[in-house]
Amino acid sequence: MFLESLTSSDNRFKGLRFKDGLNIIVADRTDVSDQGDSRNSIGKTSFVKILRYLLGGDLAPEFKAAELSDHSFTATMLLPSVSPGEFDTVTVTRTVSPTTRLQVSGWSGLETTGLHIDEWRALLASRVFQIPEDVTRPTVGQIWGQLIRSYFGNPIKGHPSEADWESGVKLGFMLGLSPEILSGAGALDRMTKQGKAIRAAVREGALTHLSLDEPRLRAQLATARRQRDHMQNDLHAFKVDDQYAEHQLKADRLSALIQQLNDEALALQRRARELDDALREEAGESDHDALAAKLVRVYSEIGLVLPETTRRRYHEVAAFHDSVVSNRRSFLEQEQEAVTVRLEDIDTQRRRLDGQRSLVMQLLSETVALDTFLRAQRDLAEREAGVADLERRLEAANSVNTINDTIKLKTAELVTSVRSELNEREGSVDESISLFGALGAEIYTDREASLLVSPTANGILSVTPRISGDASTGIRSVETFMLDVVCAVAAIKADRAPGILVHDSHLFDSIDGRQVASCLNVGARLAEEYGFQYVVTLNSDFLKLVESQSDGAFDADPYILSTRLTDETDTGGLFGFRFG
């Protein structure tokens, strides 16, 4: 036996005492009560939610009502002792508020009775379910979702959003398979989703820095590396001159002086040409005798005789002119000589200054300023960062582009591993498959039932309960019942679950009364055979219908709990009052 009792701190609460085997919690319905309201007011479903809450689940929204804020719930149960093969009677109390802590007393191995909810879940995982510490699936909540079901939409799922791979790990664990191997499907699932998300983000432009064009990235990286290496070599060849700026100023001063000399030489050369022209003109004006003879000839040609006095006067003037010309030529020749000397001096100075400037320019060409060197270092650092960024982008593109290949490889490996695990555990798995088929034959004489267990193409363990014929809601519910029973039996035999299975009346709503009777008989028999409790909540009118349609094959009396719930009065429900 697992569950002994369920009580509350409120005295109005209808305490429940349980026994071995099949336990039926009956809710008496009045003729005038509405079915949905009856359920809410009676508390059959509330029992399931309270039990899940005590075993580490979340608080149901309806229990957050102000009327329950001071309530606490208590369950007494048998849990595995630290001594092998023995069990401790453990009392668990959890308040409605706060929800993060609870009291656990009577369990050997605990150093304190006050536990955080995460500690409680961890203890259940290791000591009750034997879940390995190095796996994240299945969780305690997922297994409770199969043993104490509150969702009936899908036989293999404990809640609508449970991923297929999680369902596979959970059911495989209960059937005795390795959770380490089965959990590989989770890693593949995450990898597949990440790859799809990244590709979608790149296509939609959300990741502008990320490109999946590997050839283009490789070309950009090669160019960036070449430029980086060239800059690096240049930097290594740099000679830093601390006086670089002074040398640069000196070179500028020398260039300015040379320019001044060039300007002066240009002016002097122009003056030298003018002096040459002037001296040539002076030489032409000095032939006075020839001019005098020419003057006499001109006069004679016109019939006139030039007087002697005139000739003599002309020669006197010519002599004076020659004196003036001689003095002018002497001055021009002196100036010409001075210009020539100055030009030679300028050429000498210019050669000397140009030599000095060449030395300075050579020094400047062979060295760099400290600022230039530091700027080059910064440029190199930026270039290095650009190369590193391209390397990361190329690596990311390669990773994304190879995700599909990696997924295919890992999927093939996982499928092989799951198949090997199924082959290794073939005996226990076949027992569960056989039990499922036998239960189907017992419940339906005209249908075949089969439990299909195999890895999917994605490496997920697929556990599919199937009953031949139409896929009605009733058939689906019977598949759920049979799968829960088979998984509970397998897990109990493998010491991977406590001895309890709970089904709320919702499971049986769509099942024919005769099949419900068969299900209850199956549950009672297997509970006795494998030593677990099968707890069922049913309305009294439905239970009577089941008994009548079973033609005496099922008698509920031995299994009905002494505490009965009713909607006839406000105090007849599980809580003893209506709230919310």
What are 318-346's pLDDT values in tens digits?
666 667 667 777 888 888 888 889 888 89
pLDDT per position as a tens digit, 52-65: 999 999 999 999 99
Of 129, 87, 136, 132, the C-alpha closest to 108 is: 87
Both tokens assigned to 564: 């009965």
Amino acid symbol at 15: G
Q: Residue 277: enclosing H or E segment and its boundaries?
A: helix 244-284
On the question of pLDDT at 122 being above 80, the answer is yes
Q: Between these two residues, 248 and 14, which has the higher pLDDT value?
A: 14
pLDDT per position as a tens digit, 228-276: 888 788 767 666 555 556 656 777 887 888 888 888 888 888 888 888 8
- Tell me how many degrees the CA angle 30-61-66 measures, rounded to the nearest 5: 85
- Tell me how many degrees the CA angle 310-315-321 measures, rounded to the nearest 5: 125
Helices assigned H by DSSP within 175-209: 179-182, 184-204
Q: Residue 338: enclosing H or E segment and its boundaries?
A: helix 308-366
**Distance (Å, whole) CA 133 – CA 184:** 16
Both tokens assigned to 74: 């208590």
| DSSP state, residue 336 | H
pLDDT per position as a tens digit, 438-460: 999 999 999 999 999 999 999 99
Q: Between these two residues, 500 and 407, which has the higher pLDDT value?
A: 500
Both tokens assigned to 142: 């997922």
On the question of pLDDT at 188 being above 90, the answer is yes
- What's the rounded mean pLDDT across residues 209-232? 84
**Distance (Å, whole) CA 4 – CA 149:** 19
Of 156, 187, 174, 160, the C-alpha closest to 458 is: 187
Helices assigned H by DSSP within 402-465: 403-424, 426-443
